[in-house]
Every structure is written in structure tokens, then in C-alpha cells.
Structure 1
Amino acid sequence: MQLLCVSGLIAQNPIIQTHYSPDPAPMVYKGTVYLYTGDDIPGFDFYYMTKWRVHSSSDMVNWTDHGSPISLESFSWARDRAWASQCIERNGKFYWYICAQTVQNNMAIGVAVSDKPTGPFIDALGKPLIITGSWSNIDPTVYIDDDGQAYLYWGNGSSYYVKLNKDMISYSGDIVEVAQTVETFGGVRRPKNSGAQSAGQVTPNKDMYVEGPWFYKRNGKYYLMYAGMSKSVESLSYSMSDNPTGPWKYKGKIMTDQPTNSFTNHGGIIDFKGKSYLFYHTGLLPGGGSYGRSTAIEEFKYNPDGTIPAILMTKAGIKPVGTLDPYIRVEAETFAWSEKCSIDQSAAMGVFITKIRTGGYVKVCEVEFGNTGPKKFSAAIAAGLDGGVLEVHVDSLKGSKLTSIEIPRTGGWDKWKQISATVDATVTGRHDIYFLFKGQNITAGRELYNFDYWKFER
């Protein structure tokens, strides 16, 4: 049996299913998109986060989970609320700006630094970079202009910026507050009991700045996207300027009145491989909502004058912009969709798939087998018990089976063994593949095995 090329299928939103991933902040570096997010902890009625996470992709559909390289414990001054963040590269180092509640019981902005986009990161200062005793010091966004000057914007309720020094961990001059006007952000907040609408509600004007800024430059124009207000939930809105510090002119809403199942929205915009993408979050994963939010992506095209069109959320998501090579080691935590499994990490093994249950699977898109198909398949597995099976199918869960491995005990859940099997069908061209998890004569709820990486051989 020979399996021929199937045209590329599209990804699905949200792009990460093994955990919640709010406040997406994408960064393009050397042909790869690195995605920095928060980590909502389910089961609470507030924004409860204690760490930040990193994913990466070179094709925009298969995302590799790099785990959590920093957490509240990484900052001696942090006590609670690991909220929104953004990372940027300068001169071969990576600066990750985060916000957290301090031991003095206010919010502050800190910065961690690393030699790699995935870490390890360390607190660059041992103290906050921005601390004013205010709860508005949240949601930092950073950009380095063409002349080398870096800017840090942030703010909840009000918007602020500073000019960062070249070391990226200090700033010069004063903290500047951006004027809250109708011209700047489409509207202004009304104080409570003012006879106007309550604070936090949309004004009689078009919009208003709430939080979550995203600052960048494109084709000589500066953009400041932010969470605005639409009816009783947040929209994604934006302003533009000819200068990095304004004056800003309100341009409208990018995403509004969409069924996100989340009060908040928080976005990031990048260009990658000739296409433009909006990253945002929804509460649409099972068990999700305003306190369990997940990253989604939509492709869009700028208008001829540089303005951004209205963007609708989709379940289908975006098309791939690359392929995956199955003949090199591929981390098991690289996939486009998953069910009935989770992610864990250890100092010895890094990140791997765990909590695998019968009927679970991961889908990997756009796998390019070439003109000569594989003959052998290998996978790195750890299992404290036997009874697990790993099957590899083509194009769907019920598609032709390429190979199957019966998983033995390996000596423990942290004792890894590379297990190989022959490939039973000739597969060429480009396909989606599915790693299907099964159990043999065991209860449905039992964990089967841990899965670290895989590889095909010709």
C-alpha cells in the first residue's frame, strides 16, 4: 500500500491544548516564532498565575512546548500574580519583561535575561525595573526602534512609557503618562458617581484604553494595540502615530463582539514569512473562561494605508507556512493538536508528554516524507507499567496505520528507552500524522506512558 501526498490541512484554535496560555506575546527570531505566555491555573475565580511559558514554531501550526523557564520564584521581590509579559532580543541576549505583585503589595515590572530565547532566564536586577507603588504597573510591551532606542510601554487604566537604555535593564528620563483623550484612544474613562457611566464601562465615545498594550513599528508607522472596551467585555483596539512617543491617533477596533468566552483579550501582532498574524486569547478550551484563557491566531492583511482591518476569530485557525522533517529527532511535545495528555518537564529530560490516557492523541501537521518513504520508526518512552500501545496513523485517527509499538515496562516513569518498529506502509509526500495512544487490557483512566521524542528512518 502506498500513501500519496495530501494537500495541507489547516491548524485549529486554540493552538495549545495541554494547558491554558493567556496573554500571548510572539517574537520572531532567526526563522522561528517564539511565543511567550502566562499560565492560568484552572479552578479559581480570578487571574491566578504563578509562572510563564514558552512555545516555538517554524511553520505556525506545529508548536513545541519549551516548558516554564521562569516563575514567581525566579524573582526574590515577587509574591503573587504572574501576569502578562513580553520578550525581545538585543545583541544576542533575550530580555523578558514581566509584571508581578511585590512583597510591598503593589504591582511592578521586572526583567529576566538569557542567552537563549527558551532560557534558562535569571532576574537581571534582583529588584523591579518599574515600581511606583501603583497597581497600574502591568502588561509591559517593548520595541527597539531603527535608531537603536528601545521603548517600554505598559499600564492598566492609564498608559505609560520610558526610554530604555542600551543595556535593556535600566531607563533614562522620567516615566511619561500618555494622555487619555478621545483623539488618542477613542474615549476616556468616566470616574465613578460622576453622573456619567461608571468607570470600566464604555463611554459615550467610541472606545477607551483599558490595558494590555502591544507596541511595534511597520513601514515607518508606529502602532499601539491595546485592550479597549466593547459593551461589557474587552475588545482589541489600536492607535497609530508617526513617532514612537506619539501623539497617537485612535484608529478603531481590530477584534470586537466575538464569542471568545472571556472578559479580557490580550493581543500581539507580528509579520512572519511574508504574512501578518494577530495573536489573541479566548476561553474556549474545555473548562476555560475568563480565568482559563488560551492563545489563538488569525492571519490578516493590512489595508493599503497601513491600517488594520476588523478580524474575526475562527475555530479553523491558520494555514501552515512550512513543513516538518520526520527524519530528524522531533520532540513529542511538538504538535498542532492534542487530546487526553499533558506536558511535564524535569531537569534531566526537559519537556515531555505525560498523563497519556487511552483514546488520547497528538496531531502533527505537514510532515514531509519526500519521494522515498521511511522503513523504521523509533520513539523514546518511559513506563512504570506495561499495557500501553503507540500507533502512528496518516491523515486521520482512522487513517492507514504506519506502525505500532507495544510499550513494555522500562523500569520507571523516568526511565527512558528508545523503542523501534518497522513501518508497515509506503508513505511519500506531505501528510498529517496522528500518534494515537491505546491501552491493552487496562482500565480507561490509567496513565499509559511518557513520550519524549520520535524519528523515522529511510
Structure 2
Amino acid sequence: MRKVLMIIACLAAAASLQAQPAGGFGGFQMPKIDVHCSEKFADIDYAGDGQVYHKLDVYLPRMQKASYPVVVHIYGSAWYSNNSKGMADLGTIVNALLDAGYAVVTPNHRSSQDARFPAQIQDIKGVVRWVRANADKYRFDASFVAASGFSSGGHLASLAATTGGVQELEGEVGGNLGFSSSVNAACDWSGPVDLNYMSCGGTTDTWNHAPEEAVMGFPFAGNEERFKALDATTYIDADDAPVVIFHGTADNVVPSCQAPHFYELLDKAGVRTELYMVEGGGHGFNMYTEYTLRSMTNFLDKVRTEKGGSFVTGTNPVITGAFSADPSAHVFNGRLYLYPSHDIPTVKYQGEQPWFCMSDYHVYSTDDLTHWTDHGNIVDQKDVPWGEPAAYSMWAPDCVEKDGKYYFYFPNAPKRGRGFGFGIGVAVADDPAGPFTIQENTVKGTGGIDPCAFKDDDGTVYLIWSGMGMRGGKLSADMMEIEGPAVRLDATFPKGQTEGPFMFKRNGKYYLTYPWVRLEGGTETLCYAMADSPLGPYEFKGVFMEESPTGCWTNHHSFVEFNGEWYLFYHHNDFSPDFDKNRSVRVDKVSFREDGTIVPVVPTWRGVGYFKASDELNIDRYSECVGAKVDYLDEFNYFAGWKTLFTQQYDRVRFNDVDFGAKAPSRFVARVRSEKGAVVNVTVGGRSKKVTVPACADWTVMEAKAKLKVTGMQDVTVELVSGSAEIDWVSFR
């Protein structure tokens, strides 16, 4: 490495001597493209020198957010162009990124005629520093800045990923030296990442090295060692940013062997990486499909969220920043932990139908069902030794504690594919949030999906799963094998599709609960049976949740007792109304009759969380609604939530269980929008106040005096008196 860095120092000196005013092969602009942005900021001088090769464009997504993660996307030109940001894959890669909620920065950079390497990567590092320095101005989320590029742009994006912290390549372009130039991820589209491997390891180098010779300033032959300074592969180490690689098998410009070569070196170094070889894909042609573009944004989403974070939500859905399904809830050490599956935008198809697509698991926890922690990625499909690394089959999981260890059971397709059935694996940790270590083999004696791990009062652990009916058995002492033959549990149950079993115990009775499609062509109900022992025999009792009112086909679930209350976690497709394979976890309270049977649960928007009157109360998550309508706040980003539309006199909603504390509020605050203004009646604890909503074409936070002499737990009702208005949230302060 030291030898390479000495070469870089010499190259940098040469680059400064050979730098020229703007020139090179550039300026060609593609025909006008419909870029999916809300705002564009063009021709920003990121270096402050007035040169065309130091201009960039900024595109912000159509979805409205306080800040956006950023991708710097770099055009391809064999390093010959200094002004091609206007043709930087705008209709394909850039639009896919914008639609996924990423701000996109497309920079120019110096060409091989303007300056020699490392000027080009120094420009890109200057762009990354500029992004972080200008985060507030352009609503960038400076905590996540990725690089992407096609061809030579893919080379520069890859180089940005592998050279974080390499001072010899840093440069001072644009200043902002107090900000990091390291990227958080990179997307390499058909990039030449190892110029010494262009002949794919052959003994004779027959490749035309003219483009790289131009950017380096000397011949390749006889200077192979010096050319390593240009290679992204030269700098690979375990601290590099994650990289996703796309390459066509029919690429006749950059040999396709570059991609698996890069992948193998990154993987060997322990760098997170994914490889997508596109059958029949050329150098750009036939490369940009729904599958590849969505795989790119899924990869970036996974990297961006893998470490988790904290969030607050007391209404349904529970998890508001990502899709989630199949929730398994447990209380460990007095804290509630939630182990759901993780739906992502699909890249899997069942025939021609888009299908369930899940590649990893996160774990969440809470003390109060309102303030949540996402502990991040705990198991990923690529890390399962026995599993197919691209099966996207990480379906409903479960977790159980035994002797101070936590065992996370999950299904996955084996390496030979789904056609040979599913296996059930296990990962083990010392803490319910991980880190988890995935075991080498599947659980012996099992085969199927949706494992449920149930621990009885005597410490015995049973595993229940779905596969040729619902089956179960006692787990061995090492938790890796079923003792004896598995027992069929549902042989006497009503006919129809079943899956997703969940077992719990209450007052000495065992409950086997499961999703059931009772009608031909219907969707799933939730039903249950009861028994006096964990492996039955069970007596079917009936349905405790009807089919989804949204038409969501599946509805997996779990029961948990927490702080003296029983809760049902389940899922609907709230954030994906047009595609029921992207689902969201919900929770509602459960009650039981004297004989132990379950009182049917009616799904609510309100959920079970705790709210103070001073919180922003999203009244669209109502407890009761008469007349008013609810719609999404942002048609481009359903995760932004909902709004309540009051259009007719007496439209009203009620939001229950709000804590007004010991001191009565004096002000009513709300985020509203109203074309001509409106009057609403706000009622709390039997006391009402008429509030005037001002005319405002855009969303506005309004305030009004509202001395409501109320304290303690109260319901809040908002009713339209006149006019019309949209309300996002209300608050009392």
C-alpha cells in the first residue's frame, strides 16, 4: 500500500502541472427527460472556481420530508467528458433514486484532458464534502451520503467507497475540509474497477487501455504497478463502505469479469456487498430494469437503516418508517421486544405476480408501547450458511429465552431453492436485541415456515411450525432438534388454508392461534383452538379477528401480556394500499371471557399508545369517525402518514385517552390547510371551544386561545361547524 501511495503523490503533482481550463470531450446533453423531482438546483459551482467541470445539479424527491438521504450519481464517459451531468442516467437510475426518497446530486468532474488522475476522484470527494457542508440549505441528511455511477462513473463511485480516509487522494477541491468525504455506500454500474484485470486474468493482455492511459498520462505496458493507483480494488479493506454491483453478461465495453472479481475481493475483506449479473445486459443496454433499479434502492435502504434508531408512535401502524409484518412479541426482562419480518419493495415474482420479498430481520423494543427502539438488522439472508442468499424468503420468525440465551427461529429457502421446501434456522444471542450468531444447520426434525417457539412454565420449549399442516414438538436441550416425531396439531380443524401458528398460555390453558382462509378465494381471518397440554389435542373455538377490511391477503399475529394487559400484534397493508405484500404491524388490546375464550378483536387506528395533550395528536388515527374522510398526506410517500378531511357540517372524529395532566391548557395548536377557512368545534371532557381555521393554501401551524378547564385523561373530539379544512394533527399547550 505504501508503494501505491507514493505513486499517488507523484500523480497528484503531475495532475497539478497538467491541469487546464475547461476542455475535454463534454457538453452533450440528452433529450429532455421527465425527472421525478420536486425541485432542481442547476449549475452550482461546488469548487468556487467558475469552471464548467466543477458544476453540479441537485434534484429533490417529489415526496415531502424534512431531510433526504443523498446519492451522488456520476456519469460515464471513459473519463473523457467534463460536462455530462445532464446525461447522468436521469430517466433510469436517478428517477429510481428520487422515487425511493433519495436526493440526487449529479456532478461534473475534470476529464482526462483537463487533468490527470487523481484529479477526478478528488473532484468527487469535493462534491461529497460540499453535500455535507450544505445539508441545511438543501435539506440533505448528511448522515447518509452514497455514491453511484455508470462505467467510469461506476469506477469513481467504487473508488469513493474504498478510499475513505486515504489522505493522498483527498485533495482540497471546494474546501469544506472540516467535513468528511467518505461515503456510506456505493452503487457500481458496469464500472472498470481493476485496470490490471481487464483481460480477466488471462496471461496475455489484449485490452485497449487508451482511456485509462489518457487519464493516467502514460502507457499501461510496463507501468502496470503504477496503474494500481487507479484501481478501486487496490484500497479494499474491512472498513470500506458497502457496495452493490451491477454488470451485464454481454458488456462489450467493460468486461463482465470485473464485477465478480470486485465482489470476491470485497467479500473476502469482510465488506458488505451484493452482486447482480444481468443476463444479456450490455454496457448500459438492457441493464435498467425494475429488478435491478429496485435492488439498488433496496440495498441503499438496508444499509441506511441497518443500525436502527429511535422513534415515537402510539397509534397504528406501530412501525412507521419501514414495512413490517408477522409480528412476534415477547417480554424479556420487563421490556417488550417485537420480532417482525421485514417486507421490502418486491424483486420476487410468483409467475407474473409480484410476491412477498423479505431479506432480513430487525428487532424493536419498547417500555411503554409508544417510545420504540429499532435495534437494527439482526439476521440477513446473505449470512445464512444453509440458505439461498438471494431467496428473499425470510418469512415469519419468533424468539424465545432459555437459560439466559435468546434463540431466534426463522424460515428460509435452502441453497437448492424454494422448490425443495423451506428450512427453519436459528440464531443465538446473549441479549434479546443481539448480536445474534446464525447456526450452521437447520433445526432437525422440522421443515416448513412460520416457526413459533413456546416456553412452558416448567422451562420446556416447544417449536410449532406450518408445513403440511401445523406441527409441533419438544425442542432438545441444545434447541437445535425436535425430540421424537413431530405431532400434527390441526387434523380436526375446519378445512381451509392455514399458516403462521402462535401459541401462548393463560390460566392453565394452551391457545393455538393461527391465520385461516375460511372462504374460497378469500383472505385470512385469525382464529384459535384451546387445549390442556401444549401438543393437544386442541378444540377449535372460532375466529377472533375477521378478514381485513383493506383486503390484505395475510394477517399473521402474536399475543403478549405486558404490564397487566393483554395485546394482539397483527398486520395490515396500511402503507401500501395497492400492494398487499408490503405490510405494516399493528397492535390492539385483547380481552377474554370468563371461560377463557377470546373476545373478538376489532382493528383500530388509535392503537394503544400513551399521549400527552401537548403531543401532536394525529386525529386521523381516530377512535370514532362520523362523516370525515382520511387520506394520505403525500401521494408520493405514504410513510408520511395521513390527514383528516372535514368537508361537510358535523363531520367529526374522536381521539381517546389523552393525558391533560394536572394543569389545564390555554392554547389549541394544529397543523391545517384550508382554501377558504373553516370553523371547528373542539370538545374535551364535555367542554367545547369554537376555533377559527384561517384560510391557507399551504400547510400552516395555527394557534388559538382555548382555555378548556380540563385535566386528567380525556377524549378529544373535533367537529366541523362551517367551511372545510384538512387537519394533520392537533395539540393543547
CA distance 1:43–1:303, change in 2 (3 Å): same
Matched to 2:338, the amino acid is: L
CA distance 1:229–1:215, change in 2 (3 Å): same
Is 1:97 matched up with 2:409? yes
8 A contact 1:236–1:255 mirrored in 2: yes
Match for 1:107 among 399, 403, 422? 422
Tell me how far apart the structure 1 counterparts of residues 386 and 364 of structure 2 sit (CA, whole Å).
26
Gaps of 5+ in 2: 1-311, 348-353, 613-620, 622-631, 643-656, 673-710, 714-733
CA distance 1:107–1:359, change in 2 (3 Å): closer
Deviation at 1:157, TM superposition (A): 4.7
Tell me how far apart the structure 1 counterparts of residues 581 and 413 of structure 2 sit (CA, whole Å).
18
Partner of 2:443: 129
Q: TM-score, length-normalised on structure 1?
A: 0.62
Structure having the larger proportion of residues in strand: 1
Tell me how far apart the structure 1 counterparts of residues 457 and 551 of structure 2 sit (CA, whole Å).
38
CA distance 1:369–1:33, change in 2 (3 Å): same
Deviation at 1:59, TM superposition (A): 0.6
Structure having the larger proportion of residues in helix: 2
Tell me how far apart the structure 2 counterparts of residues 77 and 48 of structure 1 sit (CA, whole Å).
19
3-state SS of paired residue (2:443) = coil
Residues 419-454 of structure 1, C-alpha deviation per residue, up to 9 Å, x if partnerless?
xxxxxxxxxx999xxxxxxxxxxxxxxxxxxxxxxx
3-state SS of paired residue (1:69) = strand
Matched to 1:117, the amino acid is: P
Partner of 1:59: 368
Residues 323-344 of structure 1, C-alpha deviation per residue, up to 9 Å, x if partnerless?
9xxxxxxxxxxxx9x999xxxx
Tell me how far apart the structure 2 counterparts of residues 359 and 267 of structure 1 sit (CA, whole Å).
23
Gaps of 5+ in 1: 1-8, 189-207, 324-335, 341-354, 372-393, 399-428, 432-458
Tell me how far apart the structure 2 counterparts of residues 171 and 146 of structure 1 sit (CA, whole Å).
19
Match for 1:42 among 326, 342, 345? 345
Deviation at 1:288, TM superposition (A): 6.0
Specify the structure having the higher radius of gyration (Cα). Answer: 2
Tell me how far apart the structure 1 counterparts of residues 313 and 358 of structure 2 sit (CA, whole Å).
31
Deviation at 1:370, TM superposition (A): 11
Tell me how far apart the structure 1 counterparts of residues 362 and 562 of structure 2 sit (CA, whole Å).
21
Deviation at 1:30, TM superposition (A): 1.7
Tell me how far apart the structure 2 counterparts of residues 213 and 114 of structure 1 sit (CA, whole Å).
24
Tell me how far apart the structure 2 counterparts of residues 217 and 358 of structure 1 sit (CA, whole Å).
38
Deviation at 1:32, TM superposition (A): 1.1
Tell me how far apart the structure 1 counterparts of residues 529 and 425 of structure 2 sit (CA, whole Å).
26
8 A contact 2:473–2:535 mirrored in 1: no
Identity over aligned pairs, percent = 34
8 A contact 2:406–2:432 mirrored in 1: yes
Tell me how far apart the structure 1 counterparts of residues 386 and 433 of structure 2 sit (CA, whole Å).
23
Tell me how far apart the structure 1 counterparts of residues 383 and 512 of structure 2 sit (CA, whole Å).
29
Matched to 1:115, the amino acid is: D
Deviation at 1:62, TM superposition (A): 2.2
Matched to 2:533, the amino acid is: N
8 A contact 1:139–1:211 mirrored in 2: yes
Tell me how far apart the structure 2 counterparts of residues 70 and 122 of structure 1 sit (CA, whole Å).
8
Partner of 2:384: 75
Q: What is the total number of aligned residue pairs between the two structures?
A: 325
Deviation at 1:319, TM superposition (A): 3.7
Is 1:87 matched up with 2:399? yes
Residues 50-109 of structure 1, C-alpha deviation per residue, up to 9 Å, x if partnerless?
101111111112221111111112311111211110011112111000000001322000
Is 1:263 matched up with 2:557? no
1:170-189 maps to which residues of 2 (within 5 A)?
A: 170-181=481-492, 185=493, 187-188=494-495
Tell me how far apart the structure 1 counterparts of residues 330 and 473 of structure 2 sit (CA, whole Å).
21
Partner of 2:232: none
Between 162-171 and 305-314, the greater mean CA deviation after superposition: 162-171
Deviation at 1:367, TM superposition (A): 11
* Stretches of 4+ aligned residues off by more than 3 angstroms: 286-289, 357-360, 365-371, 394-398
Partner of 2:538: 248
Partner of 2:435: 120
CA distance 1:173–1:267, change in 2 (3 Å): same
Tell me how far apart the structure 1 counterparts of residues 365 and 475 of structure 2 sit (CA, whole Å).
27
Tell me how far apart the structure 1 counterparts of residues 334 and 360 of structure 2 sit (CA, whole Å).
26
8 A contact 2:475–2:483 mirrored in 1: yes
Tell me how far apart the structure 1 counterparts of residues 356 and 409 of structure 2 sit (CA, whole Å).
19
Match for 1:19 among 315, 322, 333? 322
Tell me how far apart the structure 1 counterparts of residues 490 and 334 of structure 2 sit (CA, whole Å).
37
Tell me how far apart the structure 2 counterparts of residues 247 and 358 of structure 1 sit (CA, whole Å).
47
CA distance 1:315–1:156, change in 2 (3 Å): farther
CA distance 1:71–1:306, change in 2 (3 Å): same
Tell me how far apart the structure 1 counterparts of residues 568 and 641 of structure 2 sit (CA, whole Å).
33
Higher relative contact order (CA 8 A, sep 6+): 1
Match for 1:213 among 501, 506, 512? 501
Match for 1:141 among 436, 444, 452? 452
Deviation at 1:169, TM superposition (A): 2.4
Deviation at 1:43, TM superposition (A): 4.0
Tell me how far apart the structure 2 counterparts of residues 47 and 359 of structure 1 sit (CA, whole Å).
23
8 A contact 1:230–1:256 mirrored in 2: no
CA distance 1:139–1:395, change in 2 (3 Å): farther
8 A contact 2:445–2:481 mirrored in 1: no
Backbone CA RMSD of aligned residues: 4.0
Matched to 1:291, the amino acid is: K
